[in-house]
Amino acid sequence: FPHILPTHQGRASERILFELVGGPGKVVPNNTHFDTTRANVEHSGARAVDLVIEKGKHPTSRHPFKGNMDVDALERLIDDVGPEHIPLVMLTVTNNSGGGQPVSLANIRAVRQVCDQYGIPLFFDACRFAENAFFIKTREPGYEDRSVRTIVREMFDLVDGATISAKKDGLVNIGGVLLLRDDELAKRADELLI
């Protein structure tokens, strides 16, 4: 990413991001918002909407990617509220509030395609990005011979930004980052970071 902003925690990255893109009348879809993410979205005045697949709502389901977003529900939401009211779509990898369930690369690509169709940025809540990549390696056909590192790269190449609490898969004792591709958004985020 061209812009990597260090923060004191992942929730600070969320706070900065949603202060900039959130606000009344905005809607932020996610597979399942983590509690701090939901709080930061709603603190901005925006509405947080969870769109996990139906099998992700059933603990006894053996589906390999229960963290996947329901792409049809995403399209219905966009059609219902209008793309101009959705500042970004977010995928939580892994889906921590859904029991740490992974998101497949096929699902990430499908969500990216919808975002491209409507001109909406795609972001990760990526606290457990390496864990998600490992699940892709072990569960998604065609990735068993790929390294976790290359899968992570493929995942992040599909998004416009990410919030990360580095205390999880970043393996440090404190801190977070906000990753951005948009120069203007990064400039405004840098001003808030101070």
CB distance 50 to 91 below 8 Å: no
Contact 170, 7 (CB under 8 A): no
3-state secondary structure of 49: strand
Per residue in 63-107, pLDDT tens?
Answer: 999 999 999 999 999 999 999 999 999 999 997 777 889 999 999
Confidence (pLDDT) at 96: 77
| Mean pLDDT over the full length of the chain | 94
Q: Model pTM greater than 0.85?
A: yes
Tokens of 42: 């709603």
Contact predicate 27/41, CB 8 Å:
no
The DSSP symbol for 101 reads B
**pLDDT in the model for residue 159:** 98
**Low-confidence winner among 22-26, 100-104, 112-116, 190-194 (lowest mean pLDDT):** 190-194
What residues contact 104, with CB distance under 8 A and at least 6 apart? 64, 65, 68, 136, 139, 140
- 101 is written with which tokens? 């369930």
